[in-house]
Amino acid sequence: MVPRTTRRSIVALGAGGLALSLALAGCSAGDSDSDGGAVELSFLVDNGESTVSTAEALAEAFHEENPDITITVETRPQGADGDNVVKTRLATGEMADLFQYNSGSLLQALNPDQTLVNIADEAYVDKLDENFIKSVATDNGVYGVPMGQSMAGAMLYNKDIYADLGLEIPESWDDFIANSEAIKEAGVAAPIVQTYGDTWTSQLFVLGDFNNVLAENPDWAEEYTNNEAKYVDQPAFAGFEHLQEAYEAGLFNEDFASATYADGVSMVATGEGAHYPMLTFAASQLATTNPEATDTVGSFPIPGDDASTFGLTVWMPTYTVFVPQSTEGEKLDAAKQFLEFLTTPEACDIQSEANAPQGPFVVEGCELPDDVPAMVSDLQEYFDAGQTNLALEFLSPIKGPALEQITVAVGSGITSAADGAAQYDEDVKKQAQQLGIEGW
């Protein structure tokens, strides 16, 4: 009888131990899969249709040039869920060999000095635009290479409606409201499209107004980082104020609370909506859903109170490719080779082809094709005239994460502009403390 009991307990213990060792083995799986000369790299990108197609086109072209390096594209969700995936995988050392993420303040939240491979000494970095380098650098290094073009936070508008009603591009906020009222009166379209079904789209009134903030106070970004300038005060408060004003004037589309980003782009394209404050990366959405309207949808800067400072708020390429520190050895060499490939005119051409361009390239030697959508070619005059400023997220590491909910609340009339701005200042404070910035 006695041996029986013992054997059973040994089995029980053994089973427990086996389960535990399986659990531990799960943590280290997928580290080593290189054999000989061939290198296989994984490349994590967001699951946006255009991102995936661009990444795949680039991976394929790169493989043709370097037959022994294969790049497999993996996808992750977009938005805050995707941020989660990236942060968690970086923190656990389980990141893909290459990954696409945002430049600017979102990058800062990844602690690049501790998680990403510094490429400051690579020769190809010299080919990148100075402003772009600022957006992917810390005091200690440079980390990313662009995949895509710069873009603007602009007011997309339907050129047919403007032509029919004989409207002119408004250079001040009052002119803009006057135009919107005229469109409302004519009853042909919703004057301003808002799409809170995708909450992130609600931020443009505030973020896209930043050129006007800087025009008023060129040191605003620095003061903001140093805990001196606040959103509750002018000039930055204007963005919140404009959002509230537009809501109260009843200028939004009827279904603003449930419409999505894709709906918004279609509405401007079909003339159901007249204006849509949006980033010009909407060009790729437009090319997918309404290809016939690429010449109908134009863009102009989001106007501020002062017509003399009319100008664009510019975003550096949001799609930036980084290499995590968990990529080592020959994989690291291959990954760096891919980064270098991204800075060649050939790679730029592939990007223009795979995806409608959204603004000028930030890589030396790269040119846009001739047939760019009107929303992008409209931007050129402001770039040529130097009427541009970088968006705040490239000038300061701090961006409060709750801005999109706050702007939805202000734009839906739930919160007043003043309360919304105050809430956002608190949100910013939280982020600054989390980032360990001095003076908060």
Partner 1 sequence: MTTATATGRTATGRTATSPPKPGRRKPMKSPYPTWFFIPAGVFYVVLFLVPTIASFYFSLTRWTLFDVEFIGFDNFIRFFQEPQLVTGFINTFIYAFLTSGAKVVFGLLFGVLLSSQIIGRGFLRATIFFPVLVSTIGVGILFKVLMDPFDGPINESLAVLGIEGPAWLTDPSIALLSVALVDIWKGVGLATLIYIAGMVAIPQEYYEAAKVDGAGAWNNFRHITLPLLRPATVTVVLLSLIGGLRSFDLIWAMTGGGPGFTSDVLASVIYKQYQAGFFGLSTAGNVVLFLVVAAIIFPLSWWLNRKEADQ
Site residues, partner 1 (CB under 8 A) = 1, 4-5, 8-9, 12-13, 15-17, 19-20, 80-81, 83-84, 87-88, 91, 109, 111, 114-115, 196, 199, 254-255, 257-258, 401-402, 405-406, 408-409, 412, 414-415, 423, 426, 430-431, 433-434, 436
| Residue 366 identity (one-letter amino acid) | C
Smallest CA-to-CA distance from 157 within 293, 287, 292 is with 293
Compute the least distance from the CB of residue 243 to partner 1, in Å.
Answer: 12
Compute the least distance from the CB of residue 405 to partner 1, in Å.
Answer: 6
**Alpha helix segments (H runs only) across 208-321:** 210-216, 220-225, 237-248, 261-270, 282-289
Give the angle subtended at the CA of 228 by the CAs of 222 and 233, to the nearest 5°.
Answer: 105
Q: Which is nearer to partner 1, 141 or 345 (CB)?
A: 141
- Find out whether 194 and 255 touch, Cβ atoms under 8 Å: no
Q: What is the rounded radius of gyration, in angstroms, for the C-alpha atoms of the chain? A: 24
Q: Which is nearer to partner 1, 80 or 120 (CB)?
A: 80
Smallest CA-to-CA distance from 390 within 131, 108, 101, 126 is with 131
Compute the least distance from the CB of residue 3 to partner 1, in Å.
Answer: 11
Compute the least distance from the CB of residue 17 to partner 1, in Å.
Answer: 7
Both tokens of 142, joined, read 């440079």
Q: Which is nearer to partner 1, 15 or 385 (CB)?
A: 15
- Find out whether 133 and 365 touch, Cβ atoms under 8 Å: no
Q: Which is nearer to partner 1, 112 or 311 (CB)?
A: 112
Compute the least distance from the CB of residue 416 to partner 1, in Å.
Answer: 12
Q: Which is nearer to partner 1, 19 or 178 (CB)?
A: 19
- Find out whether 265 and 198 touch, Cβ atoms under 8 Å: no
Q: Which is nearer to partner 1, 9 or 47 (CB)?
A: 9
Q: Which is nearer to partner 1, 71 or 90 (CB)?
A: 90
Compute the least distance from the CB of residue 343 to partner 1, in Å.
Answer: 29
Compute the least distance from the CB of residue 93 to partner 1, in Å.
Answer: 11
Q: Which is nearer to partner 1, 361 or 424 (CB)?
A: 424
**β-strands 151-158, 297-301: how paired?**
antiparallel
Would you call 386 exposed, middle or buried from its count of C-beta atoms within 10 A (0-12, 13-18, 19+)? Answer: exposed
Compute the least distance from the CB of residue 419 to partner 1, in Å.
Answer: 8
Smallest CA-to-CA distance from 242 within 199, 271, 203 is with 203
Side-chain half-sphere exposure of 191, counting CA atoms within 13 A: 20
Residue 429 backbone class (left: φ over 0; alpha: ψ -120 to 50; beta: rest): alpha
Compute the least distance from the CB of residue 73 to partner 1, in Å.
Answer: 24
Q: Which is nearer to partner 1, 115 or 150 (CB)?
A: 115
Smallest CA-to-CA distance from 237 within 415, 410, 429, 417 is with 417
Residue positions counted in the chain: 440
